[in-house]
Chain A
Amino acid sequence: AQTVTQSQPEMSVQEAETVTLSCTYDTSESNYYLFWYKQPPSRQMILVIRQEAYKQQNATENRFSVNFQKAAKSFSLKISDSQLGDTAMYFCAFIRNFGNEKLTFGTGTRLTIIP
């Protein structure tokens, strides 16, 4: 069974600074997908970024980027130029295949951006 661990329950950072959220996972699979989801107070689950395990290049979406270390089973999220709207819970998640499998989530990191 897959497990996802987020060791930082809470983080805070000043607006415009850079912050990195950590995630580690455990799996015996060689092909899989990793995700970061954002959950603001509205409680929507918003996909921030995805990474395919077979891709060596780290995914980037505007101010969001990941550091994917497959051998170390590490998948951190970097948020650059943080904004007040980035305040939210962030969940790391794992799935083997799209379409018919559940997502395995970490316990989340509550990120607060300080004005």
Chain B
Amino acid sequence: DARVTQTPRHKVTEMGQEVTMRCQPILGHNTVFWYRQTMMQGLELLAYFRNRAPLDDSGMPKDRFSAEMPDATLATLKIQPSEPRDSAVYFCASGDRNSNQPQHFGDGTRLSIL
């Protein structure tokens, strides 16, 4: 089965460091989503792309977060500088109008900022 691949699976780093999370969407899917999951806020959308163009990044703190799709096989989410409140699980999902489910999720990156 085709899967969304996220790396790294876990990341522990110190406050102030740059963090980059990567996502390989399912081949042929034209939309990519970044969600963040925390105990307090639950699952919230940070940003999403269609055909590599950003459609909505209103959920993302612009001063420190950035999301890009350098090509159709790679999406990145960067945090610089990282803060302890960024500790969360970050999910990437990809979707296609013709799929049997709206979005296919990766296994997430668990990020801990010390």
Whole-angstrom distance between the alpha carbons of A103 and B101 in the complex?
A: 11
For B48, the closest partner residue in chain A by CB is A102
B108 at interface by CB-CB < 8 Å:
yes
Q: Mark A30-46, 1 if CB is under 8 A from B, else 0.
A: 00010100000011110
CB distance from A87 to the nearest CB of B (A): 18
Segment of A58-66, A78-86, A92-100 engaged in the interface with chain B: A92-100
**B46 closest partner in A (C-beta):** A102
A43-B108, A99-B96, A103-B103 are contacts. A108–B31 as well, Cβ < 8 Å? no
Q: Does A105 contact B (CB under 8 A)?
A: yes
9 tightest Cβ-Cβ pairs between the two chains A and B: A99-B97, A45-B105, A105-B43, A102-B45, A107-B42, A98-B102, A95-B102, A47-B101, A98-B97
Q: Which residues of A contact B (CB under 8 A)?
A: 33, 35, 42-45, 47, 50, 91, 95, 97-103, 105-108
Chain B residues with a Cβ under 8 A of chain A:
30-31, 33, 42-43, 45, 48, 50, 55-56, 89, 91, 93, 95-99, 101-103, 105, 107-108, 110
